[in-house]
Each structure stands twice: as structure tokens, then as C-alpha cells.
Structure 1
Amino acid sequence: MRLQYELHPAVLWPFRLIICLASLITSLPRLLIGAPRKSHVYALSLSEKPQGPYRSTARPDDLTTGEFPGVATLDSYFEHGVHLNENAPCLGTRELLSEEDEPQSNGKIFKKMILGEYHWMTFAEVNKRATLLGRGLAALGQLPRQPVAVFCETRAEWMIAAQACFKHNFPLVTLYATLGAEAVAHGLREAEVAIVITCSDIMMKKLKDMVVEIPNLHHVIIVDTPSAPNLTLPAGVMVYSMSEIEEMGNLPKNQSIETQRPMPEDLAVIMYTSGSTGLPKGVMLTHSNLIASMGGQCAVIPNLGPKDTYVGYLPLAHVLELGAELSCLSHGCCIGYSSPLTLSDQSSKIKKGSKGDVTVLKPTLMAAVPEILDRISKAVMNKVSRMGTVQRTIFKLAYNYKLEQLQQGHDTPLCNRLVFEKVRVVLGGKVRLMLSGGAPLSPQTQRFMNICMCCPVGQGYGLTETCGAGTITDVLDLSTGRVGAPLTCCELLLRNWEDGGYRVTDHPHPRGEILVGGPNVAMGYFKDPTRTITDFLMGKAVSEAAAGKRWFCTGDIGEIQSDGCLKVIDRKKDLVKLQAGEYVALAKVETALKNCPLVDNICAYASSDQSYVIGLVVPNHARLQRLADKRDLNASWEEICHHPAMEAEVLKEIVSVGNKMRLERFEIPQKVMLTSQSWTPETGLVTDAFKLKRIELKSFYQSDIERLYGC
């Protein structure tokens, strides 16, 4: 995606001359050193058949089962980091200085925060607190191999509770803080937990009223209060603060409690997925599963170590964030905690003029979901659009020049220093590597982040059932639209999906349903043997070449390219057949149309008894407001979104972008609805990884869908 210029070509020549001189100066060392890097093959098939299995060329003989010799469980994984960096900062939390109510134009009141510096616990302090908490849980009667639930937002205490469970062989049950009451009650009942670790907000808003529905629950531990709140709960349910349980673990009579350390095959986590449909299902992850997964993921992060700082803000109940944080701690990296609402200076809970978390923390490593990266890129372009003509021109020239250089495999140090260093400060200015996962990242957003953030933005592909591991793009692979080669801990296999017309014999590249196999593949679904048998297969049930491994059937459709990298092209559940017989891949349409500047989020919807696709759109507030101002439309935000002229303008842009992205005519929405409501996990319309909940969206916007289809 090249940025368009506004000035006359003749006026651009002085700027182009400067760029050419810079190009000549920076290319001299490359010419002297030698030829550019040759093309690389990242994975090869282990059989002569096109379906694979495909294995990374970085480890062709066997699969990674761990990273550190003799370190086979998560408790010893963390202790490795403690020995590496014992007295260094480990977990950091910003001090809340004040909160202020800020009235909005629509009459609503938003709470804005002013935050101070990060306060840090050292590795030794975190290790001690985890040990005491684990002993305290044992003093309450918790036994090894009995689950403990953590139902809390991402914060330092979440990780301390997790380490306490790993040390004492208490399987950790994870639940998203934004799950609905029915889903939470289902998970806690199914896992038969006696202890829930939570925070005061969630306790008061959600857990308090559902305690009666969880018969095995006896103890609730609040992480963010110095003493237990005075609550009226059913008889037999006790409430404690986390500090009280740690004090209990420090009592002389409890210091002698014998700790039963876990074995590699022991259950470490029962991770309840947020689920885009139905009740969440618990995925059983063993210590060896997670250790193998993290070994594969860390192998693609160059020089991971104590000099790195990671910003933790995604849900720790998501396997992407949990794996990333555990990996960082094992290598002695520190983690500063944040949230999507306080991440940057422009985040919704940060008071104007005060600093967001990344500005203070200055992280070097960051994980993200595409929704977050889309927001960042659009926020930067909104700033660019408000610059003067000369500044905009310089930015666009630098952007297009760097795009050309990256496509040739070269960087642009001068442009980075003079232009993009000012953009990088949006994320603190020191990020050296970003990983995107959870959903497809559009090529335009990936390229934009590569250029403006001056660091590799890798795409990863994995699922909860594979401990988040599957593939990750190489840091030197600057291609877009792909998710990389298999990690060294797993293999990929394709199988035909006849209904969708995808076959492993397709040319020029084999295509089919993606199966992931290896030591990182989960043991199955908790108390759900029927679904486990359907989705998890042993090797011989797949093919002779796949024997000896457990495989997970992902439901995603992939294409293995000539260099061994995977491209995810479709999903079984997202395929809809229109009235005239055309198949529409909804996720593919959404990924393409998110490149529209007027679109923040979109759900493509199609009904099999209709002949066209429609779009449910969350518009970009700033751009749509400017469009309304140009039309002299003086109205509230809700009225602007519902105005037919605004729907027509957004549809026009969507059609234009759809054509540029080479969507088929029948794939491009013919009608759209604009919603004034953002889709966040709190609304229940997207998961905590910001994946669309299609059933909930359909139900919520049923009347709009009927209007667009003329029902």
C-alpha cells in the first residue's frame, strides 16, 4: 500500500532528490559488503506427498520438547529465570495517582486516570510470594492435582497466583474476566473448584451472585484488598484477601507443609476458551505441552534475555499472553502490566495530557491482536492527516521510500531517525519485536507497522489446543499475508476439504484443512470425551507419515507455499453459500475491508437464502465525524451513524477498497449498517481476543439485518 501525494509532481522533486541522495549514501555499505540475502526455505515435507507433514528446516531431525536442559515443568521454568536475574525487576504495576470524572458530549461520564511510575517486585520477591501463597492454599485444604481457578483481569497478582499453583501442582483453571455469568458458572462447576482467586470488582459485579450456583466453592481470595471485604455469602463460603493467605503460608505450622512438585505429564492449566459460539470448553494443557510450545516460540525471538521489557496487557486467560509472559520470565525479562484502556497516551482511560503505560515503560517486546494494531495504524494516519501539507508530503515520501527498500530486503536508517522515530514513541520508542496473533492481520496493517515502528511485526498462528504454537514468521521475512513456517515444536499437515473445494493436490500449492501435531498439542477437552475424539487424532488415524504424534484438527484452511510457509485462506465455519451458489469466506472479506480508513471493525454477514453480502460496521469516529462536518450534518454520533447519506459514503469506500483488494463482486457487501457502539469484550459481541461472536452479533443486530435484506 503506497500513500498518495497531494502536491504537484514538480514540487516533489526537491524532496525526491534528498531521498535519492540518502539512498545512495546508505546503499554504499551494502554494495561493499556483498549481495543481499538469498531466498530461504523455511520448512520441508517429511513425505513425498503434498499434504506433508511439514517440519521446520531449523530442526529437521526431531521436535523441540523444551528449551533448557533438565527444565521440564513450569515451576522450574520460572526458577530458571529467578536464578538468572534474582534481584532484578520482575513484575511492575503503575501507581494510581487519581481518577477524575469527565463528562462527554452525549451526557455520559467517563472515568479518566492519572498514573504515576511503575513499582517493581524483584524475581526473588515474586518467587517468595508465590511460595507463601501456595502454602497458604494448601493450609486451606487444597490438595495436589485439584484445580484452583483464577478469575481476574491481567495484573501482577494473576501471575503470582499462577506460579503458586505451578509450584504446588494445583492445576490452574483460567476464565476470561469478561465472560458472562452463565459461562463462568459453567467453567467453575465443571472443574469442581473449591478456591477462586479474583479481584474486588469482579467479585462484586459477577461472582457474588453466582456463588450459590457453584456447589464445590468454599474459598474466595481477593487479590486487590489488604483485608477481606465484608460480604454476605452462602454458608460455608469464606472470603480472604491474598495477603491474608500469604501470611497463613508464612506461619511456622504451615512452613513445614510438604510441596508435591509437578511431573511433566501433570495437568498445568485447564484453559476455558472465550468461545465465539456456545459455552466455553476447557482445554487440558500439561506442563510438557506448554514447555514444548514455549521452546518453539522462543527459538524465533533473537537475543531474548534480561535486557528486555515486555508489556503485559492482553488477557492472561488467553494462551498467547500466558505463553508470552511465562517465556519472558524464564529468560529473566521483566513485565510491566497495562490494559487496552491505559496502554498509550491516547487510550480511553488516560486523562488528556498525562502519560499512557508504554510511554513510561518503554517496552522492547509486545504481543498484540490485529484489532489493537489496526487501531494504532489508524490513529497514526489520523495524526498524519492533520499535519500541514509539507509535513504530510515528507511523511509519505519517507513511507513509500522505505516500502520500496523493505521489498528489496533493505532498511532505511536515515528515514527511521528523522521521520519514524517520532511515530515509534506511540509505543514507547524502544519496541524491537512485535508478535500478532489471535486473528488474521491485514497485509496493509502489517506493512504499516513494519515501516512506522521500525521493527519486525511477526504473525503467529496457533490455537489454545496447541498451546498457542503453530507457526510464526521469521524476523527477516518481510512478506505479508502469511503466518510463517512450523515452529520447531510441531508439524503441519493438510487434509482435503471437499465441501469447500480445497485439496492437497491443488496447484500451484497444496491446500486443505490444517492439522497441527507434536508435543505442544493439548490432551483434549476437559470432561468432554466426545469432542476430544472428534478434534484430536492420533497419527495413524491421519496418515502413516503422521504416526506417533497427537494431532489437532483446526477447522482452518491453509495453503503451504513453495518455501514451506503457511497461508491461512479460509475457515470451515465462516464459509457461506449464497442463493446463486457462490461461496463467501466471511473472515477473508472482513480482513480485506478492515483496510478501509472509514472502518474500525466489520462483521460480514450472508444468508444462504439471499443473493448478496451485507456489512455490520463500526466506523472510525474521527474520519466519519469529519465527513459529516463536510456535509454540514450537525447531529449526535448515533444520528450520524444511522443517517442514510453516511451509510452510502461508507459503502462507497468499502466497495472501492474491496475492488483494490481483489475481492470478487459477490464478496463485497452491497449494503451496510453503521453502529455507534464499539465492539469490546465487555459488550459480549467479541471475544477477549477480539474475535467476532457471530451468533451474538446476528442476534443483537437482527432488526438491522432484516432491514438491509428488505425483510
Structure 2
Amino acid sequence: MPPIEYPLINEDSVHIEKLVRQYLPIAPEEVANAVEVPNSKIDGFSSVYRNAYSPDKLLSKPHPSIDSLYKAFHHSVNVRPNGPCFGSRKKLSNGKFGPYVWQDFQTINNRKTNLGSGLFFILQNNPYRSSTDPELDLSYNPLNQDVQSKFIVSLFSHNREEWAIADLACQSYSITNTALYDSLGPDTSRYILNLTKSPVIIASKDKIAGLIKLKEDSPAELQNLIALVSMDPIDEALDANLYVQARNNKISLFDFFQVEKLGAVNPLPHIPPSIDSIYTVSFTSGTTGANPKGVVLEHRQGVSAITFCCSNLRGIEGGVSYAFLPLAHIYERMNLAFALFQGISVGFPQSPSPLTLIDDCKQLRPHYVALVPRVYTKLEAALKSQTVDNDEKPLLKKLFSTAINKKLEWQSEADGSEGKHLVYDKLIGVLAKKIGFDRVVSMTTGSAPISPETLKFLKASLNTGMSQGYGLTESFAGICTSQKYEANPGSCGAISITTEMKLREIPEMNYRATDEGGPRGELLLRGPQIFTHYYKNPEETAKAIDADGWFYTGDVARIDATCGNRLYIIDRVKNFFKLAQGEYITPEKIENTYLSQFPFVQQLYVHGDSLKTFLVGIVGLDPATIDGYISRRFKDKISTKADILDFFKNPDHKRQLLIDMNSSVNGLLQGFERLHNIEVTFDPLRIEDNVVTPTLKIRRPVASKFFKEVHDNLYDEGSLIRKEESKL
């Protein structure tokens, strides 16, 4: 074991805080572009690109002394012990939720220490410990500085303060954790628990019975699971049956508060992690339908992710963040890590339901909001119905249309243009306050493509900037992000200061490093923010990372040489097939183009057959906007989903919808890339059907089988666009 490294001089946390506030974030124009590394181009690849702010080296820490997520959190504990850290809403006697109740940084620090100590206590004194794998070491060893902790803690719930406290407890004792989530299903959860040999799961109470049943059905595979900790109180009398079921399956059952109390009376000193310690194993579902791969993420990648955030985003004093996206996924964990380092208060949703977002925001009034395109498009539709599409109040419609259209015009003049106006900003401020967005200084989006028109409208209508980022589980979320006020939204910005990139040519998909306007090809990443291996999976690791350390993302990108070498994600590798006439089709590119240009559709699955000459598709209508489209196009008023589906069973109506979809992509797709027939429905791509991953990427082999009957019917019906078909 290498010796622990210590600096000669330790800087005071308050001094570090002053440096962070003084020098971060970097000016937007300094990190907005990328540059080529000289003499880095080799055959079959583009040049290597780095951020223009630091072209000669990659950066990995916000400060030399902050080299673990543990130290990042403790920095804020030292600087602002009495500042609000975590906030939650309590359910009132009338069934509604009250205001946010806050716990300060020192309280959270004490609670996670108690929980960590308590976890060791319930495992070391567990009556079923002897039934676990002999290689599973549950002992407490304060000298343990191994990269891999001896056991893995599993977390399973929607976003709540107990989830985050458990995560911090693991950091404090160099324990690796992993996350389960509902969309995995019992088979995949069983696979993860068996692979990791996880001895304890910390879960919300509603998951406990299902987890006990999981072990009951697979006692050999889950022999190591000997403890469950409920995040909610458990009553020995009311929940006696749960205790009996747990004992019958060799599981000790506790609630969160019991474990905290046990830790408080049996305290253990922290075992601080090193920069190489494994923080989490984040399981990511692939698009093939196979078992998920466990992405091993060290504290090194976590601190690099904080560095990426700090370079682009200011942590304002007294700032509040809304932890809406699932903490089981890496996007929200990056947001949480940044917030805790910068001393930003984190408010948690009142429930697992996404429908409570606006109600929470009205109470929380966050400064930082990170959502996904699906949520933003619904927000866009709701705002439009109150403003530019508000036919019931023509005066209000005219006022907001004038203000929003002028801001759209001004914000498109140049990068960085905020389009501020004394009168219009006050009017728009009323709208933002109505939904709790009046203090927002940062809106970010990621995980899937978003329409540039949505970005433009939300910036103008909410009077704030908005960034689109790109990242993966393997990169600890974001490794690039656009400027908040990008004149022509659509890019993911320049590669960040923590990572370098290059593109691999894909001749069979006609993507080359010499393409006009900038290279195109598979995106490759390297740097301190990029993972090093998959958990217990050397075969997949060897496929993903080459001998020089480049990670092959599987995403196809374009680098815009005409605009600062900014990055655009345009396709997926291997997502292509050939039609009967010999044309190659890349369905993801086609889907993204339709979705970005035709806002009345929120899901699309494009399918082709090598024996056919045209494409068919399954369309998922956007319930928030489709009635407006029907009203304007067909002069008909329909509101219920059932009536809308009946409406589009009419071949003339379906054909007109398809014509409008194809018109929206004029100049962007060639004739053979356009759809010729469609199935119209709502929400066809559901996680529970296994046709999409939890991050909503289409599992094409699975989807092709699942929708086979639909595809056959569409091809039997034939092309609805006869004139276009004749051009093929």
C-alpha cells in the first residue's frame, strides 16, 4: 500500500473559499471554444481537441487540497457549518405538504457520521453474518486506504435527504455504494446485488417487502444480503409482519433512525478516501437489452466533475438547488456534488411524482434547476398556453408575444446577449414568479437532444440563460456545456477543461474527419473525468477503452470548425441499416431531427426493413401540445387522449400529420430518410416494456421485436406519401 500523501502546508478552508469565489467561474468567453492540439492528427481520426482556456494541460481539481468528494463536502462544513444544507417538505394533517424545513451543514455532517458508524455496527453484530461469502469483509479498519472498499452499500429510493446522507456516510468511511431504481426490474436488481455481493440496502419503506421477497426467491444468489435499512420509521407492532419475513430470510431489519442512534453511541473515526478510492459503481443499462454494465467511478472523476461545474457555473452565496432528477443516475449526483462543495442548499422533491415539480418550486424558489428535455417541453407548452397562445386573453397574449419576440430577437444577436429590457423583464418576471422560477440563474439540460426552439423560448420567456450539456455515466456526467446565452442554440458547447476529445472516422456511415465544416465521427474522450473500467467486466472494458486510454463513447459527433470547434451529437454508432434500394439509414439522426423540428411529437421510433424501400415510424404525441396543433391545423377542438387517438385513426388526418412532420424537416433529411407511414399513439416507448433504457435511449433489437406486428401492419398499409415514394 503506498504511503498517504499530505501537503507541506494546509490552507485554511476560509482562504480556499475566497480563492474559489474570486477566480471561479471562468469568464464564459474564455471557455466557450476548443482548439486543436498541434500535430495530433493521425489516419482515421481527427485532431485532438482541448478547451481553449487550457490547451496545454487538463485540469482536475478546483483547488489542490480538494482531491475527494469527502473533502469537497467538508470544505463547506468548515466554511458554513450553520448554513442550510438539505431541505425537505413534511406532509401536513390535511394531506398537503408544508414549507421546506432545513438542516444545516453541521447537522448533516453529524448525521452521516452516525449513520456510517451505525452501518458498521449492524453488519459486524449481524446474526446472519456467518452465512455471507467468506471473502466479504465487513470489518472496520481505520488504516484501510485500499482503492476498493471491502463491501458495497446499495441505495434504493426516490430523491430524499436520507439517500444523500447515506451517500455522504459512504464517502466518510471509504465505502463504495451503488444505486438501484424501479425501472431496473427485479431481475436486474438481483443481478446487481449478486454481482456486488452487497450486504446491506438502504431503501424507502415501500421497497422493503419487495427486497425481502427478492431474497426469498433467490436465497443462494443473495446470500450476502443480511441487512435492510428503511429510510422511513418502522413500528415494531404495526410492521411486525415485515420483521417476521426478514428474519425468515436471514435479514436484519432496521430503520434509518435506529442505525443513526446505534452509530451515535458506538462512534467510529472517519476513514477518509483517497483520490483513487472507488466512490460508486453506477450501473448503466445498455441499448442491447443485456445486463447493465457497472461503471466504476473514483473520487478522482467526482472531483473532476466538480471542477467542470465550477469552471462554468457560479455558486452564489445563499443559492438553492432543486434535486429533481433521479440521484440513482450520475447527472444529479454531479449536481449534488457541486452544490455541496459550493455551499448551495439542496431541496428535495415532496414525492417521486414529477407532477409536483411546480408546487415544489413555488415553495423553494431555486436558483439552480437541472431537468431533461421531456420536462422542459412540457414546461414550454404550459408557458405558451399562458402567453403567446393564450387566445382567451388577447391583450395578455399581445403583451407577452411582443416581449418574448423582442427578447428572442435580441438574444439571437450574439453569444452572451441577454436581451435585457427594463419593462419587458418586469412583465416576464411575473410569469417566472408564478411557477417559482423568479430566482433561477441557471437552467441546464442533458441526457437527450432538445429542440433549439425550446431553448430559445424558455430563455426569453423566463428571463434567464439556459445551457445544453453532454456527458455519460462513464464521464461522471457533463464534460461539455453550451453558453447560457448562445446566439444559435443547439451545440453542447466546447469540450471542458477536464477532458480532451477526438473523432474516429466511420466510413460505412459516411462520417469522416475531412468533412466540410468540421470533422464527423465517433466521439472519443480521455482525461481525469473519464472512468477507467467496468466493474468485474474486463471484456467490455477492453471494447470501450483502447491502449492509449481513449474511451469510445458510441456517440457520433460533429465538431463545428466554423464556430469555435463546438460539439454537436448527431447519431449513434452501429445504429444504421440498409434499405432495399441500397441507401444507408441512421435512425437516431432521423428521430432527433423530427423531434427537434416538430414539437407536437415527444417520442419517435424509426424502423426500416432491408426488403422495403421506405421507412415507417411509431409516433408518441406530446399530450401538452397536440390539441393546439389539431385546433390550428384541422379547426377542431379535442382534448382527451382517447378522442385524439380516434381522430388520427382517420387516414386523412394521419396523412396530414405525416405531411406536416415531413415539411418540418425540409432541407434537413433526404427523401429516403423521411417517414412514409406512422402509428400514432401516446407514450409508446416505455421503460417497463424494456424498449428504452432508464435514460430513455432506444433498445433497438428489443424494440424491433416488440413492435414487429405494428411494423408489419404499416408496411402492409403502404406509403401514405405516394409522391415522395416515387422519387426514391
TM range (shorter): 0.7 to 0.9
Residue from 24, 29, 48 that aligns with 2:39: 48
Distance 1:490 1:40 in 2: 13
Distance 1:484 1:235, change over 3 A: same
Shift of 1:608: 3.1
Q: Does 1:294 align with 2:270?
A: no
Q: Distance in 1 between matches of 2:431 and 2:176?
A: 43
Counterpart for residue 493 of structure 1: 502
Matched with 2:617 is: 615
- Aligned match of 2:160: 155
CA positional deviation for 1:592: 2.7
Counterpart for residue 604 of structure 1: 606
Local SS of the residue matching 1:524: coil
Indicate how the Cα distance of structure 1 residues 633 and 326 shifts in structure 2: closer, same or farther if over 3 A, else same: closer
Give me the whole-angstrom Cα distance separating, in 2, the residues matched to 1:649 and 1:98: 51
* Aligned residue runs from structure 1 range 422-501, under 5 A: 422-425=430-433, 426-501=435-510
Name which of 344, 348, 368 aligns with 1:337.
Answer: 348
Once the two structures are overlaid, the 10-residue window that deviates more, 69-78 or 386-395, is 386-395
Residue of structure 2 in register with 1:566 after alignment: 567
CA distance in 2, matches of 1:187, 1:328: 29
**Distance in 2 between the 1:41 and 1:266 partners?**
32
Partner of residue 219 from structure 1, selected from 202, 227, 232: 227
Match of 2:405 among 394, 400, 406: 400
Deviates more, 1:686-695 or 1:457-466: 686-695
1:389 matched residue in structure 2? 394
Q: Cα distance 1:462–1:500, how it changes in 2: closer, same or farther (>3 A)?
A: same
1:358 to 358, 361, 366: 361
Name the aligned partner's letter for residue 525 of structure 2.
V
Structure-1 separation of matches of 2:173 and 2:390: 56
SS state at 1:150 partner: strand
Rounded Cα–Cα distance in structure 2 between residues aligned with 1:468 and 1:210: 32
CA drift at 1:627 = 6.7
1:239 aligns with 2:242: no
Q: Where does 1:234-383 land on structure 2 (aligned, <5 Å)?
A: 234-251=248-265, 254-255=266-267, 257-278=268-289, 279-301=291-313, 303-338=314-349, 347=355, 356-383=359-386
Q: Is the 8 A contact 1:570 1:587 kept in 2?
A: yes
Could you say which residue in structure 1 is the equivalent of 2:720? Answer: none
Whole-angstrom distance in 2 between the partners of 1:515 and 1:160: 35
CA contact (8 A) 1:195 1:220 kept: yes
Measured after TM superposition, the shift of residue 126 of structure 1 is 0.9
Q: Give the conservation status (yes or no) of the 8 Å contact 2:159–2:348.
A: yes
Cα deviation digits, residues 401-447 of structure 1 (max 9, x gap): 22221121331323642442233233532111111111122211111
- Secondary structure of the equivalent of 1:654? helix
Question: Is the alpha carbon distance of 1:679 and 1:361 closer, same or farther for their aligned partners in structure 2, counting shifts above 3 Å?
Answer: farther
Query: Are the structure 2 counterparts of residues 525 and 628 from structure 1 closer, same or farther at C-alpha, using a change threshold of 3 Å?
Result: same
The CA distance in 2 between the partners of 1:556 and 1:421, in whole Å, is 39
1:104 aligned residue? none
SS at match of 2:223: coil
**In structure 2, distance between residues paired with 1:75 and 1:41:** 30
How far, CA to CA, are the matches of 1:72 and 1:651 in structure 2?
54
Could you list the per-position Cα deviations for residues 630-653 of structure 1 after superposition, in whole angstroms to 9, with x for gaps in the alignment?
777989633531542253343233
Aligned CA-pair RMSD: 2.7
Change over 3 Å in CA distance of 1:586–1:380 after alignment to 2: farther
Percentage of matched positions with identical amino acids? 26
Q: Tell me the distance in 2 between the aligned counterparts of 1:473 and 1:38.
A: 11
- d(CA) in 1 for partners of 2:412 and 2:636? 43
The 1:651–1:119 alpha-carbon spacing in structure 2 relative to 1, beyond 3 Å, is same
Q: CA deviation at 1:221?
A: 0.8
Once the two structures are TM-superposed, the CA of residue 399 in structure 1 deviates from its matched residue by 2.5
**1:586 equivalent in alignment to 2:587:** yes
Question: 1:31 aligns to what?
Answer: none
- The answer on whether the counterparts of 2:157 and 2:181 sit within 8 Å (CA) in structure 1 is yes
Aligned ranges for residues 181-200 of structure 1 at < 5 Å? Answer: 181-200=186-205
Q: Secondary structure at the residue paired with 2:609?
A: coil
Q: Distance in 2 between matches of 1:633 and 1:446?
A: 28
Letter in 2 for 1:318: H
Helix, strand or coil: the match of 1:618? strand
Cα-to-partner distance string for 1:519-574 (whole Å, 9 max, x where unaligned): 111121111101101101242xxxxxxxxxx3210011112222121111221143
1:643-662 matches, within 5 Å, as 643-645=648-650, 646-659=653-666, 662=668
Task: Answer yes or no: is 1:637 the counterpart of 2:641.
Answer: yes
Contact 1:362–1:427 under 8 Å retained in 2: yes
Match of 1:117 among 88, 92, 99: 99
- Distance in 1, matches of 2:584 and 2:396, equals 45
Q: Which amino acid aligns with 2:420?
A: T
| Match 1:666 to one of 643, 653, 672 | 672
8 Å contact kept, 1:435–1:457: yes
Residue 420 of structure 1 aligns with which residue? Answer: 428
Q: What CA distance in whole angstroms lies between the structure 2 residues aligned with 1:382 and 1:166?
A: 46
Structure 1 residues 599, 530: closer, same or farther in 2, change over 3 A?
same
Residue 575 of structure 1 aligns with an amino acid whose one-letter code is F
Deviation at 1:359, TM superposition (A): 1.0
Secondary structure, aligned partner of 1:671: strand
* DSSP-derived class of the 1:178 partner: helix
CA distance, structure 2, for counterparts of residue 331 and residue 298 of structure 1: 9
Change (3 A) 1:263 1:49: closer
Contact preservation (8 Å) 1:369, 1:689: no
Q: One-letter code of the match for 1:297?
A: C
Residue 137 of structure 1 deviates from its aligned partner by 0.9
Cα 1:631–1:59 shift into 2, 3 Å: closer
Deviation, structure 1 residue 360? 0.9
**Residues 113-167 of structure 1, C-alpha deviation per residue, up to 9 Å, x if partnerless?**
7322111111111111100010011112334432111122111111000000010
Matching residue's letter, 2:605: C
Name structure 1 gaps, 5 residues minimum.
1-36, 100-112, 540-549
**Contact 1:306–1:334, Cα closer than 8 Å, also in 2:** no
Paired with 2:364 and 2:204, the residues of 1 have a C-alpha distance of 24
1: distance between equivalents of 2:333 and 2:55?
Answer: 28
Is residue 716 of structure 2 the alignment partner of residue 710 of structure 1?
A: yes
SS at match of 1:512: strand
Q: Which residue of 1 aligns with 2:9?
A: none
* Preserved CA contact (<8 Å) 1:147 1:171: yes
- Whole-angstrom distance in 1 between the partners of 2:713 and 2:78: 63
In the superposition, the TM-score normalised over structure 1's length comes to 0.84
Shift of the 627–514 alpha-carbon distance from structure 1 to 2, 3 Å rule, reads closer
Structure-1 separation of matches of 2:574 and 2:372 = 21
> Shift of residue 77 of structure 1?
1.2
Which residue number corresponds to residue 7 of structure 2? none
SS in 1 for 2:275: coil
Instruction: Please tell me whether residue 529 in structure 1 is matched to residue 538 in structure 2.
Output: yes
| Structure 2 portions without partners, runs of 5+ | 1-27, 125-137, 140-148, 718-728
CA distance in 2, matches of 1:320, 1:292: 14
